[in-house]
Structure 1
């Protein structure tokens, strides 16, 4: 069977079971919204997959699948890729998990809401990649990056990379085309067993999670070539591959040498890299580059990221930062004075906040910071050592309220979701 042949749809009995499970999930979602507990997408997926254990495979069947995974940037990249495909095939052709629910039940929930769309563009949690390869047979799978995240849960990121390698090796020639970040050694190692890889040379600031070779453990070296740093392992053959797509400042160089400028509404140089990966995936899928770029230009606030909302009488721009790599990219975007930083440590954030000491908060010197959230005191200690003037306002709403102009708010996952709700964005 060709790699791009979708799995067969379920039989009559399986379809009946899936319909009943979907109805039960929809009812649970409606009750969740009625109770003011949120959109209901999560509970829908949990009920659906509990009553129909094969729901994910059934809902993927018959579709062409593109998937995006990695530690940082997968929500934005998924939105960019979905917009690119929609621009070519039309709005009704694509179903996606736009809210960022990327575990099995979140993906199933999104798919259950549109059974007719022939194309699924899916944000996929790193732990679900192996299932996606086996069940969804994606045509294209984007690997963005690996970084320490939720240290109590993903403390050993090489184990995730090893799972990806094994899944790709098992898929063999039937596996997806991988669009991979050539600048991340663990991504390169994880992609090594794929039948085909399209490499993208990105431009990212964070390199602290890529010090050792994932193949042999040697200390990687950085070599300067053509005004760019390239990594190489002195202990084995692993080295940065030559890339067909390259990020050059605000431009993306295509495999044919042409330079294009993505007109993005989302800020930050890291989003140029996300756009380069989305563009490579879209072109691989068959979308002309110019059409893909036009689609990506319509994306403004993916799942609330970079959105501006009225909260407690203040105008707040919301930025999500989940880990040191995310904070390294988000902090330079914060232009307001004061700036609000919100930290929590429940399961979705990761309970271990020792990563605070890896973030360069020193760059905020000369501005005032409002530290908020359940772990505001931990943040305040770090800001004190960074010699950043700050106040502690534990209540999130109070911390954001009352600032003139537009205040930048950088938050970990849980307070970010609360801010979206407070601002009427979810």
Structure 2
């Protein structure tokens, strides 16, 4: 009985008639806008649906969350993939009842994106929701999640989020307000700011993700003292904040369970960071009542969450698409990029963050000896950084032209045997060019 542990349903919500009628009208208007977006070839319409929906019914976010069992996933990096892994694990636990689950699989994680996804599955009583860091407080207050997964904090979109401690402070306050009625928090014990943020939660399941990126965790979030690290664990010499003992551990390619069992997730998405994401998803799934084997089986079906790690042929070039939004993301993505040449796409509109000074925190030196094609509106900024890194590069600002350039170069290579398919070119992009690539590839 794979669905046995998920059998109990959320309490039914009672919605007043005026709220129900207004919400019904708002959903209909949103669906009409989404249809228009698809007919105009402007995308799936999920985003415009949510914007129209929440404009007509400003309280749609909290109304649509009512009466559901909610699991929420947040953090700067990895929340889309972790949400897909968790949703797949829960689906596997549900067995034939998979229509009971709703998730925002396209990664639209603000209030309107979440409302859009929920509006399309009114009868689903289990929601696994990717949640933007700025929405977590409202998710705790209105969604009353059973499980809240907190992955990490990293500098990202600083022009909008400012210093990341302010986000952690909002999480901490929301969990304190929720008290014993708050969620079980599945939290990354290796991230000091996450540990501090989760410190007011009534119940925390700690996961040692063996995180390698530490540049955003130099100071204690509680007292400001420089953190000390010994034997891979962090501690504050100035106060009692220290890395907590974790019940779930990442050890290389394995995950160690609270019972001491070692499991290999054998994911179909690459990278050691995704083993860490899987550990958090696995811990959350078991908290929701999914059996371990069923959760692992489901997670192994995830291949290209919201287009990440997808392979597509664009303007003659077969490329593997990697998303990197900030220094921590680039630190994980660059070791996966093994092709020569490699394409790097940079933009700086609101969704990317307008401040690109973070380019100087990324170790592009590891690309020495290969050719880089820098593309996107901020390709020249990247070119300056690559010059200092002594990385051979060329600048082709237009994304389509960059793909065509790589295709032409590879086609003219006298060492290429045309009868043997070439390996994909690795293409790492910030958020906006990544979305353009997905649209070009027909993946959104």
Shorter-chain TM-score tier: over 0.9
Matched, 1:176 2:183: yes
Looking at structure 2, the residues matched to 78 and 416 of structure 1 have their Cα atoms a distance apart, in angstroms, of 19
Looking at structure 2, the residues matched to 281 and 7 of structure 1 have their Cα atoms a distance apart, in angstroms, of 23
Looking at structure 1, the residues matched to 39 and 52 of structure 2 have their Cα atoms a distance apart, in angstroms, of 17
- Measured after TM superposition, the shift of residue 119 of structure 1 is 0.3
Question: Could you list the per-position Cα deviations for residues 86-124 of structure 1 after superposition, in whole angstroms to 9, with x for gaps in the alignment?
Answer: 001142121000000000000000000111111000000
Task: Tell me what 1:291 maps to.
Answer: 294
On the 8 A contact 2:189/2:209 being kept in 1, the answer is yes
Matched, 1:84 2:89: yes
Looking at structure 2, the residues matched to 51 and 154 of structure 1 have their Cα atoms a distance apart, in angstroms, of 27
Task: Tell me what 1:32 maps to.
Answer: 37
On the 8 A contact 1:7/1:137 being kept in 2, the answer is no
> Within 5 A, what are the aligned runs for 1:188-337?
188-224=195-231, 229-337=232-340
- Measured after TM superposition, the shift of residue 204 of structure 1 is 2.2
- Measured after TM superposition, the shift of residue 53 of structure 1 is 1.4
SS in 1 for 2:193: helix
On the 8 A contact 1:371/1:379 being kept in 2, the answer is yes
Change (3 A) 1:389 1:81: same
- Measured after TM superposition, the shift of residue 313 of structure 1 is 1.1
Task: Tell me what 1:111 maps to.
Answer: 118
Change (3 A) 1:365 1:400: same
Looking at structure 1, the residues matched to 401 and 210 of structure 2 have their Cα atoms a distance apart, in angstroms, of 37
Matched, 1:393 2:396: yes
Task: Tell me what 2:144 maps to.
Answer: 137
Matched, 1:405 2:423: yes
On the 8 A contact 2:375/2:396 being kept in 1, the answer is yes
On the 8 A contact 2:71/2:127 being kept in 1, the answer is yes
Change (3 A) 1:356 1:97: same
Task: Tell me what 2:417 maps to.
Answer: none
On the 8 A contact 1:9/1:58 being kept in 2, the answer is no
On the 8 A contact 2:89/2:297 being kept in 1, the answer is yes
On the 8 A contact 2:333/2:428 being kept in 1, the answer is yes
On the 8 A contact 2:10/2:125 being kept in 1, the answer is no
Which sits farther off after the overlay, 292-301 or 7-16?
7-16
Which sits farther off after the overlay, 396-405 or 330-339?
396-405
> Within 5 A, what are the aligned runs for 1:346-385?
346-385=349-388
TM-score between both structures, scaled by the size of structure 2:
0.93
Task: Tell me what 2:434 maps to.
Answer: 416
On the 8 A contact 1:73/1:274 being kept in 2, the answer is yes
Task: Tell me what 2:51 maps to.
Answer: 46
Change (3 A) 1:58 1:129: same
Which sits farther off after the overlay, 27-36 or 105-114?
27-36
On the 8 A contact 1:151/1:352 being kept in 2, the answer is yes
Change (3 A) 1:357 1:69: same
- Measured after TM superposition, the shift of residue 7 of structure 1 is 7.4
Change (3 A) 1:189 1:7: farther
Change (3 A) 1:359 1:6: farther
On the 8 A contact 1:6/1:137 being kept in 2, the answer is no
Matched, 1:58 2:63: yes
SS in 1 for 2:238: coil
Looking at structure 2, the residues matched to 9 and 36 of structure 1 have their Cα atoms a distance apart, in angstroms, of 38
- Measured after TM superposition, the shift of residue 261 of structure 1 is 0.4
Looking at structure 2, the residues matched to 205 and 193 of structure 1 have their Cα atoms a distance apart, in angstroms, of 26
- Measured after TM superposition, the shift of residue 314 of structure 1 is 1.1
SS in 1 for 2:145: coil
Task: Tell me what 2:4 maps to.
Answer: none
On the 8 A contact 2:311/2:319 being kept in 1, the answer is yes
Question: Could you list the per-position Cα deviations for residues 319-367 of structure 1 after superposition, in whole angstroms to 9, with x for gaps in the alignment?
Answer: 0000000000000000100000000000000000000000000000000
Question: Could you list the per-position Cα deviations for residues 136-184 of structure 1 after superposition, in whole angstroms to 9, with x for gaps in the alignment?
Answer: 0000000000000012112210000000011000000000000000000
Which sections of structure 2, spanning at least 5 residues, go unmatched?
Answer: 1-8, 411-421
SS in 2 for 1:204: coil
On the 8 A contact 1:70/1:145 being kept in 2, the answer is yes
Change (3 A) 1:6 1:329: farther
SS in 1 for 2:200: coil
CA RMSD of aligned residues (A): 1.0
Looking at structure 1, the residues matched to 242 and 85 of structure 2 have their Cα atoms a distance apart, in angstroms, of 29
